[in-house]
């Protein structure tokens, strides 16, 4: 699936900006808003953001509306868009000297196939990227990875929504999960999950190219992992709840700390109980329980 890159350059007069709002804060704010209209990954620099979205999901109208109505007095901006070629992400990683990532206080190593194995570590996950994001280095991915590494998953029936590379579901299987269903709307993710499952010698029961509507008539899951943007989570939570049962847990990530009350309130509307939340660099994880 081809991706589109939006390069946004923004300006604001410091005399009209609250002293507590740094460039990093403003950049994070913009990223949070862009995530609500489908942008999946971001690169930040001083006064600029590169944002990436599947070409088919991009809306010029939605982008202009979001930026033109941004609620900061004196805020101005300009942006360009560029269609990116479909590339081999293994080659890109190697070219940019990607380093292995340790998660869960050294319990789990995430590496690419071209890295040297480290068999002395308790758990090693091999990820070969294509066009899918999800390598363990983003806070939202690492938050869920750390939760999985700290809980007993033996025998659980797991659903990985918006699975990307499949990293979360693969860790769950390595930690003893009994079965895994992996779902993503991106055809490249579908292929990538199959490859990564093979690299890690695990068997995924079902890989589906689609969205939450494909959950209809599915048997209940014990654990649902959903690392997606805030608005999609809010929209899809009723479908998640429909495939939960008493004792099932729902882990949500992909949103900022200030969005926690929205997700918790939505869960409570659907009969779920708030268990805990974790925050790292403003990115958040929320854990909900089906009573």
Is 141 labeled as ligand-binding? yes
Give the whole-angstrom CA distance, residue 280 versus residue 12: 27
Q: Looking at the chain, which runs of residues are DSSP E strands?
A: 3-11, 41-45, 48-54, 76-84, 101-103, 108-111, 123-126, 157-161, 179-184, 206-209, 221-227, 244-256, 273-280, 283-289
Is 227 labeled as ligand-binding? yes
Residue 216: DSSP 8-state? T
Give the whole-angstrom CA distance, residue 16 versus residue 105: 43
Is 28 labeled as ligand-binding? no
Strand partners, 102: 109
End-to-end CA distance of the chain: give it in Å, rounded.
40
Q: How many CB atoms lie within 10 A of CB 53?
A: 21
Give the whole-angstrom CA distance, residue 206 versus residue 51: 31
Q: Taking Cα atoms as reference points, which of 23, 190, 202, 182 lies closest to residue 124?
A: 202
Strand order in the sheet with 3-11: 41-45, 48-54, 3-11, 76-84
Give the whole-angstrom CA distance, residue 128 versus residue 198: 10
153 close to 96: Cβ distance less than 8 angstroms: no
Helix (H/G/I), strand (E/B), else coil: 7 = strand
CA distances from 164 to 182, 191, 268 (A): 9, 10, 28
User: Which residues belong to the annotated binding site?
Assistant: 141, 162, 184, 227
User: Which residues belong to the annotated binding site for S-adenosyl-L-methionine?
Assistant: 141, 162, 184, 227
């Amino acid at each position: 699936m081809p991706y589109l890159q939006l390069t946004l350059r923004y300006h604001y007069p410091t005399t009209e900006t609250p002293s507590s709002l740094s460039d990093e804060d403003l950049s994070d704010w913009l990223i949070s808003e862009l995530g609500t209209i489908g942008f999946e990954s971001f690169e930040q620099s001083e006064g600029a953001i590169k944002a990436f979205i599947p070409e088919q999901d991009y809306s010029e109208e939605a982008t202009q509306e979001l930026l033109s109505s941004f609620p900061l007095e004196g805020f101005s901006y300009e942006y360009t868009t560029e269609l990116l070629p479909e590339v081999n992400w293994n080659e890109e990683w190697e070219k940019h000297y990607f380093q292995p990532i340790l998660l869960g206080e050294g319990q789990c190593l995430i590496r690419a196939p071209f890295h040297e194995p480290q068999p002395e570590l308790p758990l090693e996950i091999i990820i070969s990227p294509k066009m899918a994001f999800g390598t363990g280095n983003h806070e939202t991915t690492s938050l869920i990875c750390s939760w999985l590494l700290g809980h007993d998953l033996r025998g659980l029936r797991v659903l990985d929504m918006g699975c990307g590379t499949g990293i979360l579901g693969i860790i769950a299987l390595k930690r003893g999960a009994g079965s895994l269903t992996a779902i993503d709307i991106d055809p490249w993710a579908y292929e990538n999950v199959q490859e990564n499952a093979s690299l890690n010698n695990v068997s995924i029961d079902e890989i589906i190219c689609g969205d939450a509507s494909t959950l209809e008539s599915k048997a209940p899951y014990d654990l649902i992992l959903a690392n997606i943007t805030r608005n999609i989570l809010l929209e899809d939570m009723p479908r998640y709840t429909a495939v939960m049962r008493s004792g099932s847990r729902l882990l949500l990530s992909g949103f900022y700390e200030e969005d926690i009350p929205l997700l918790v309130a939505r869960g409570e509307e659907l009969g779920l109980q708030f268990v805990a939340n974790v925050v790292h660099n403003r990115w958040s994880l929320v854990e909900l329980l089906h009573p």
